[in-house]
Amino acid sequence: MFQPVEKKEKREEVKKPFLLPEAASSVSRVRSYLKSRGIHEEVIGSCIRAGTLYESKKHHNCVFVGKDENNKARFASLRGTASHFKLDISGSDKRYGFHIPAESKDCSLLEVFESPIDAMSVASIKLFLGENYKDRHYLSLSGTTPLALLHFLKKNPQVRSVVLCLDNDEAGIMGMEKIRKCIQEDPSLSRQVLTLIHKPCPKECGKDYNLYLQKLLSKGKNEIQKTMERSMER
């Protein structure tokens, strides 16, 4: 017997508006947490002053903010200060990742990471070595999707060298390969990016650059220098 097929109504997904979490009255817990991860105070302070890092009033999470070309917040991710909690805020636009800008607007070097803390970690390593960490841009993808990188490159045509510092695990390696293909297959970006380097964290130091930073800090400045030199030789 024939039975009529019921038509399923298409439900349109209503995109939630992007709203930043309310800020706490201080950033003491965020500072303490990031310092416990080895992040240099100057890097923390610089991000707070730029409005790309603050502490949420509820739960006292780290809030990492991605801004657009007009300095308007368009993306935010949360990181727990007392747990492993992680979450991208609803309505976030992943084209706008957490970014630590170079000192010079003409800077042609960009380093790319999965997480804001990894980006802050490499900036911290340079500071601990007495080097200028603002000689390059640092960009977080909030994962491995290349959206933030591709958008950043199109908005910053002066960037000619890209260093991919994603995690040294299966997802990170696959993510770096996907980024390479995206750039190579885009006529404009393939002409723009003259140097594309894969530089995941050395496997013996852990899967990401924050683990690398913590291991280096446990050795002292001289060992940090030696380890970094060995890494550069590879």
Residue 77 makes CB contacts below 8 A (sequence gap 6+) with 63, 64, 86, 87, 88, 89, 92, 98, 116, 142
Number of folded domains that form the chain: 1
Checking if the pLDDT of 231 tops 60, the result is no
130 band by pLDDT with thresholds 50, 70 and 90: very high
What does the pLDDT read at residue 224? 61
With respect to residue 6, please indicate whether it lies within any of the assigned structural domains.
Answer: no
With respect to residue 118, please indicate whether it lies within any of the assigned structural domains.
Answer: yes
Domain limits for position 64: 28-233
With respect to residue 220, please indicate whether it lies within any of the assigned structural domains.
Answer: yes
What does the pLDDT read at residue 222? 63
With respect to residue 52, please indicate whether it lies within any of the assigned structural domains.
Answer: yes
CATH number at residue 210: 3.40.1360.10
Distance, first Cα to last Cα, the chain: 71
Q: What are φ and ψ of residue 110, in 5° steps?
A: -130, 130
pLDDT digits (tens, 9 = 90+) for 139-164: 999 999 999 999 999 999 999 999 99
Q: What are φ and ψ of residue 113, in 5° steps?
A: -135, 165
pLDDT digits (tens, 9 = 90+) for 179-188: 999 999 999 9
With respect to residue 9, please indicate whether it lies within any of the assigned structural domains.
Answer: no
What does the pLDDT read at residue 15? 73
d(CA 229, CA 234): 9
What does the pLDDT read at residue 11? 55
With respect to residue 1, please indicate whether it lies within any of the assigned structural domains.
Answer: no
What does the pLDDT read at residue 230? 59
With respect to residue 219, please indicate whether it lies within any of the assigned structural domains.
Answer: yes
User: pTM of the prediction?
Assistant: 0.89
With respect to residue 8, please indicate whether it lies within any of the assigned structural domains.
Answer: no
- How confident is the model over 6-16, as a mean pLDDT? 58
